[in-house]
Amino acid sequence: MPTFAVFRSLLRLMADRTLGLRADVAASTMIEVLGIGLGVLGPYLLKLVVDSLSAGQVSPFPFLLLVAAFVLVWSGTNLTAAWKYVFTTRIINGLARRLIEGALTGHLPKIAREREADSGRLLGMLERLPFSLQLVVDGLMGRVAPLLIQIAVSLAVIATLAPPPYVVLMIVVLVGYYGATRLSARRFQAQAEATNRAAASVSQALGDVLRNARRVVFNGNVEGEIRLVAHEGRARQASAERLAWLLVHTAGAQYLVAGVGLFLLLGLAGLDAAHGAISVGDFVLLQAYAFRLALPLGGLGFILRQSGVAIANIGDVLALVGRESRSSPATIPTTAAAITIDGAGFRYGSQWVLRDVHAEIAPGSFVVVAGPNGAGKSTLARMIAGLLSPSEGRVRVDGVEMEAIDEAERYARVLYVPQFIGLFNRSLGDNALYPPTRHDEAALRALLEDWCFYEDGRPVDFGLAVGEQGERLSGGQVQKLELARLMGVRASAIILDETTSSLDAPAEARAIGALRARHAGVTTLVLVTHRLELARSADQVIFMRDGRLTAGRHAALLEIDAAYRAFCGGDAAA
């Protein structure tokens, strides 16, 4: 995103009434105006002090009054800067909060839907966002604009007190400084974006290693992963060094222009003061303004170095915020879903996983989707849930294509539950009562104890911290917890994509039996599984093989489908 587009977006957010930052922006602006006034007034008071000394006779009281005023004004600039920082901090935190909320709202559905989605890269971007806003809002926007105003006011004061050539010389120096900066701006921005991407790659690699610590350690590949992270770190370092050298070249041109300009300005002013063309006070005034403007201009080098990467980071987050709009609140469904699969197919790239499949799932029925590995069972489940859009054909729920249904409404109608259930690093109770379940703690505890959540029969502790991804629980316990939560969920259809794979056969039968009884007539249940124990009692079995499907009752499929019969072990009585 271009730099000025980032600035416009940030200014628009600051002015947004719902964000509540208008008062802070107004206070920060007024304090900055006060600081600019003090910065301009200070050199003028110093000129008056020097001129009074040059006059020969000094009246003590007026002289000390001038000195006190100069000291108060000069030191007051630091106080106003600290005071302004209070309001700037509020602005930065408010912007960070809104942008993080917007990025999560826009990008979480993408992470949930797409296999290629990268949560580690997003995490890195959002972690760097507050620091990036600090640099851009406080460092760039909060210093460059006031500096330009101070330059304009200072030139106006100089024009009234000093000969015109000095004003012209200062203008030439400032224009030259701007030109030196502008020449490298495009290359600097491009390299800053590359450096930001390299930083995101490091965050991605680190997050990937930390999330899969057991896989790394248990397979003895700690050194290999460290080398991978180090490789990404070296790439980021190389990109950052290229950015730094661009800054060196820019700073060299800037300091050359500023140095030559200050030499000419102070040299000419000193000679004029020596010959009486201007007073010593005028010389001090020119010297004070020159250094007061030159020092901030020199300090902008560091801000520009950092803000290039920061602007790229903010631009990336703003792009995520605008990618998807907020969905309207979903309505709670009241009837079971009728699902129609009409000639649907799906492919990853050029590889077809499903082709021209047809099926009708009656509302309120219990359907088992079975088949060998790689047959397309999970792809079909994700299409039914609206997580994947068919490459051909249609999937309808109650006669409406899933793609035409608002996203929040879609997930309220058809709830997809994956095989690998990632729990939050919170308490057992927080995970068990996670929305949209309507169960209370007592009912869930009784259910889990009935399902032998702990083999030794001890009471379920809802205050137990489960660890990252539920690492302190077994796979079977995680699935029991999720299935118990689903007992209190109201949806038109629930898709269980091998959600019982870690349960033994009796536990699976007990849990699925309880779900069927709980949701009988109000929810369509679809279970994807490799096992066939539940197929006998299912209202319908969808058998998948090589991207095709056959549907019917278990007994009927045994009679008509040799592949299904072979999958069941060849026993017609299975």
Beta partners for 497?
528
Assigned token pair, 26: 């107004």
SS3 label, residue 524? strand
Sheet containing 351-361: order of strands: 351-361, 339-348, 392-397, 400-401
SS3 label, residue 20? coil
pTM of the predicted protein model: 0.69
The answer to whether the beta carbons of residues 10 and 314 sit under 8 Å apart is yes
Assigned token pair, 155: 């030139």
What residue ranges define each of the domains in the chain, with the CATH number in brackets? Answer: 3-321 (1.20.1560.10), 339-567 (3.40.50.300)
Rounded CA separation 203/196 (Å)? 11
Q: What are phi and psi of 357, to 5 degrees?
A: -95, 145
| Cβ within 8 Å of residue 208, ≥6 positions away | 120
Rounded CA separation 370/277 (Å)? 98
Report how far apart, in Å, the C-alpha atoms of 193 and of each of 74, 188, 301 are.
Answer: 39, 9, 18
**In tens digits, what is the pLDDT along the chain, a chain of 574 residues?**
777 889 899 999 999 999 999 999 999 989 988 988 888 888 888 888 888 888 777 788 888 898 899 889 888 887 888 898 899 999 999 999 999 988 888 787 777 776 555 676 788 788 889 888 988 888 778 777 777 777 777 778 778 877 888 888 888 887 787 777 767 666 776 787 788 788 878 877 887 787 777 678 767 788 888 888 899 889 988 988 888 888 788 778 877 887 888 788 888 888 888 888 888 888 888 877 777 666 566 555 556 556 777 888 898 899 888 554 445 555 666 789 999 999 999 998 888 999 999 999 999 999 999 998 888 899 999 999 888 889 999 999 999 888 788 777 787 789 999 888 888 888 999 989 988 888 888 999 999 999 999 988 889 999 999 988 888 899 999 999 999 999 999 889 999 999 999 999 899 999 999 999 999 989 999 999 887 888 989 999 999 988 889 999 999 999 999 999 998 886 544 4
Helix axes 280-321, 60-113, angle to 10 degrees: 20
Q: Locate tokens 């416009």: which residue? A: 8
Omega into 436 within 30° of 0, i.e. cis? yes
SS3 label, residue 474? coil
β-strands 524-528, 493-497 pairing: parallel
